[in-house]
Amino acid sequence: MKNGLLIRAERQAPLWEKLLSAGVAGAAVGMFTAEFVSGRWWVPLSVLAAIFGFAGAIRAKRAELRATNVEFLTKGNAATRFRQGQTVCTGDVRWLEFQEDTGGPDSYEPSGLYAITARGSKCLLPFLSEEETAQVITEIEGRFPGLAERWRKESPFGENFLSLGIAKAK
């Protein structure tokens, strides 16, 4: 981008996840149709549901981050908040860091790049490893040195504001 950065991330579902969603879809349709539909229609309907369940799980989860000196805009199909677009103003960002997958079905937050603000953390780009996150932060720092300077002052990690123990190259 002329006045910013565009970074994309993608996650393919593992095979076990695809098979599980296909099995659950097939079993659910099979149980429902066996109970309420006469004859043996439940078999082909279950197979169709399993095929559609597998096909739905094949679609990769994607997210993209557009970074400018004014805002971070995240879009994609990774989560509902990304489908609508999530904007974080750079003035609200205290620093950027990598955060691990929190796990748990109720409060799932994927591993990736997070912006730490006064009100908490916001996922800017999911599906990144710690090394990939460091690379993205370094790119943002290089493109917007004024922002990086402010983050160094506010980060509890000081000069190593990447929060990964990676010192800024001299």
Domain limits of the chain?
15-58, 63-160
Contact at 8 Å (CB) between 150 and 156? no
The Cα 10–Cα 60 span in angstroms is: 7
- Min mean pLDDT across 3-17, 76-90, 125-139 is at 76-90
How many residues in the chain?
170
pTM over 0.95: no
Q: Measuring CA to CA, which residue among 7, 12, 1, 11 is closest to residue 124? A: 7
pLDDT, tens digit, 9 for 90 and up, residues 19-62: 777 788 878 887 777 777 767 777 777 877 777 777 766 667 88
pLDDT, tens digit, 9 for 90 and up, residues 62-83: 889 999 999 999 988 866 656 6
> Which pLDDT belongs to residue 71?
93
Task: Indicate the fold that domain 63-160 takes in CATH.
Answer: PH-domain like (2.30.29)
Contact at 8 Å (CB) between 111 and 129? yes
